[in-house]
C-alpha cells in the first residue's frame, strides 16, 4: 500500500485564514486546490495498528524526510 504527501497552493481570496482552510480541506468536497507536488511512499500492509492509522507524527516525518545528500 502507498501513502501520498501532497503539497497544495490555495489562494485565500476571502481571508478565511489557515484554520478555516484546513477545516475545509478535510471536510468540504467543493474546493478546487492546485496540486503543486506529490510524493508516494510504500507503507506496507494496512492494519488497525499501523502508525499512520494512529497519527504517529514521527513515523510520518521519517517516511517523508528528504533524502540524505553525500
Q: Is residue 68 part of a domain?
A: no
In a domain, residue 69? The reply is: no
For residue 26, being part of any structural domain is answered with yes
Distance of CA 33 to the CA centre of its chain: 13
pTM above 0.85, yes or no: no
Would residue 24 count as lying in a domain?
yes
pLDDT tens for each residue of 10-63: 888 889 999 998 888 888 777 777 889 999 999 999 999 999 999 999 999 999
Total structural domains within the chain:
1
pLDDT at 66 over 80: yes
User: 24 exposed, middle or buried (CB, 10 Å; 0-12, 13-18, 19+)?
Assistant: middle
Amino acid at each position: 500500500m502507498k501513502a501520498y504527501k501532497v503539497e497544495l497552493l490555495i489562494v485565500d481570496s476571502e481571508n478565511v485564514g489557515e484554520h478555516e482552510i484546513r477545516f475545509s480541506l478535510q471536510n468540504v468536497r467543493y474546493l478546487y486546490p492546485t496540486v503543486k507536488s506529490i510524493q508516494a511512499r510504500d507503507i506496507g500492509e494496512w492494519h488497525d495498528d499501523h502508525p499512520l492509522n494512529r497519527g504517529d507524527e514521527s513515523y510520518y516525518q521519517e517516511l517523508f524526510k528528504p533524502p540524505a545528500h553525500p
